[in-house]
């Protein structure tokens, strides 16, 4: 691919109640399938999307949380989670699901895709992206 | 639109993907395969079963690139490559095999 752009998918909303979280994930899968440079950002209530232990039984919707863990297969290696957003909601990194990828340059070692960054760092990551899609 | 299996009808969409994933059965897979002009061999079943396991775990049907990589990891390079999969499923392994496996069309599949 000649023109790989840096895509950043920004997730701001809680996983349920709206279709944004699922739509975002679908678009991420499409973008990654076309071998773009894909990164995800979770800010505001979006951090709840990654909190372990969803139970959608009573909601009548598919529990698509396991799909986040497939993103490593799609070469999604950068998942930025805003530290302040976690702290404001009484959450820590330990509350989040595990997301991993295999590092081609390091004998396919399994590494965590999740990077906790400050609000300031998040702003820099956004500034550095070619395309930002906000959900 | 529907498939007929043992006197039962199973609804499918305009492209042949079944609409209710829980209605899948091995017999239905054979019927869908026939409609796709595919004779199900052991090798075909291996891919179909693999896709179903992948869906069970991740709740998505993998894109072809991801399927190839995952097959390579599990079965080795002689099965985890495009040529092998396209020989089994000439109209697109992700697309055709997913249809037979009773899964939705893979996201991002063109």
Contact A67 B65 (CB under 8 A): no
Structural domain boundaries enclosing A27:
6-134
> Does the pLDDT of residue B93 top 80, yes or no?
yes
In whole angstroms, how far apart are CA B3 and each of A113, B9, B24, B100? 42, 6, 11, 12
Angle, vertex CA B34, rays to CA B28 and CA B40, nearest 5: 80
In 3D space, the residue among A114, A133, A36, A109 whose CA is nearest the CA of residue A69 turns out to be A114
Per-residue model confidence as pLDDT tens digits over B11-62: 999 999 999 889 999 999 999 999 999 999 999 999 999 999 999 999 999 8
> Does the pLDDT of residue B109 top 90, yes or no?
no
Q: What is the CATH number of the domain that holds A121?
A: 3.40.1260.10
What's the gap in Å between the CA of A4 and the closest CA on chain B?
17
State the pLDDT at residue A95: 96
Cα gap A38→A49, rounded to integer Å: 18
With respect to residue A111, please indicate whether it lies within any of the assigned structural domains.
yes
Strand intervals (E) in A2-130: 6-11, 37-42, 78-82, 100-103, 109-112, 114-117
With respect to residue A1, please indicate whether it lies within any of the assigned structural domains.
no
Helix H or strand E segment including B11: strand B8-11
Tens of pLDDT along chain A (135 residues) come to 557 889 999 999 999 999 999 999 999 988 877 778 899 999 999 999 999 999 888 888 889 999 999 999 888 999 999 999 999 999 999 999 999 998 888 888 999 999 999 999 999 999 999 999 999
Looking at per-residue pLDDT, the higher value among A125 and B1 belongs to A125
State the pLDDT at residue A41: 98
Contact A74 B59 (CB under 8 A): no
The residue of A22, A28, A74 whose CB has the most chain B CBs within 10 angstroms, and thus the best one to mutate to test that interface, is: A74
What's the gap in Å between the CA of A120 and the closest CA on chain B?
33
Token reading at B75 = 């079965």
- Tell me which long-range contacts A123-132 makes (C-beta under 8 A, separation of at least 24): A125/A8, A125/A39, A125/A41, A125/A80, A126/A8, A126/A10, A126/A41, A128/A6, A129/A6, A129/A7, A129/A8, A129/A39, A130/A5, A130/A6, A130/A7, A131/A5, A131/A6, A131/A7, A131/A8, A132/A7, A132/A8, A132/A10
Is B109 one of the annotated active-site residues of the chain? Answer: yes
With respect to residue B109, please indicate whether it lies within any of the assigned structural domains.
no
State the pLDDT at residue A108: 83
A56–B contact, CB cutoff 8 A: no
Contact A34 B58 (CB under 8 A): no
> Does the pLDDT of residue B108 top 70, yes or no?
no
With respect to residue A68, please indicate whether it lies within any of the assigned structural domains.
yes
State the pLDDT at residue B47: 95
> Does the pLDDT of residue B107 top 80, yes or no?
no
Q: How many domains, in total, are found in chain B?
A: 1
Q: What is the CATH number of the domain that holds B22?
A: 1.10.10.370
Chain B residues close to A35, C-beta within 8 Å: 65
State the pLDDT at residue B105: 83
- Candidates B58, B108, B109; nearest CB to A70: B58
With respect to residue A86, please indicate whether it lies within any of the assigned structural domains.
yes
Q: How many domains, in total, are found in chain A?
A: 1
What's the gap in Å between the CA of B9 and the closest CA on chain A?
25
- The backbone torsions φ and ψ at residue A120, rounded to the nearest 5 degrees and listed phi first, read -65, -45
Structural domain boundaries enclosing B94:
2-100
Average pLDDT over residues B67-74: 90
> Does the pLDDT of residue B110 top 60, yes or no?
no
Size of interface A-B (CB pairs under 8 A): 41
């Amino acid at each position: 691919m000649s023109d790989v752009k840096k895509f950043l998918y920004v997730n701001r909303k809680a996983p349920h109640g709206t279709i944004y979280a699922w739509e975002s994930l679908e678009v991420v899968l499409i973008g990654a399938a076309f071998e773009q440079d894909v990164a995800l950002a979770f800010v505001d209530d979006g951090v709840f999307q990654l909190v372990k232990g969803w139970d959608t039984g009573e909601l009548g919707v598919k529990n698509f949380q396991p799909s986040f863990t497939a993103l490593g297969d799609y070469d999604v290696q950068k998942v930025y989670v805003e530290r302040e957003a976690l702290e404001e909601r009484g959450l820590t990194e330990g509350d989040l699901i595990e997301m991993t990828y295999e590092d081609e340059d390091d004998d396919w070692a399994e590494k965590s895709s999740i990077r906790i960054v400050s609000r300031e760092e998040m702003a820099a990551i956004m500034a550095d992206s070619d395309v930002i899609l906000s959900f | 639109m529907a498939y007929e299996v043992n006197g039962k009808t199973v609804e499918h969409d305009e492209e042949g993907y079944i609409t209710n994933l829980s209605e899948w059965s091995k017999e239905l897979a054979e019927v869908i395969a026939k409609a796709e002009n595919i004779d199900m061999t052991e090798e075909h079943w291996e891919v179909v079963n693999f896709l179903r396991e992948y869906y069970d775990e991740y709740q998505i049907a993998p894109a072809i690139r991801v399927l190839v990589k995952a097959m390579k990891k599990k079965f080795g390079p002689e099965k985890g490559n495009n040529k092998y999969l396209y020989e089994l499923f000439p109209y697109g392994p992700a697309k055709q095999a997913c249809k037979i496996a009773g899964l939705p069309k893979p996201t991002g599949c063109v």
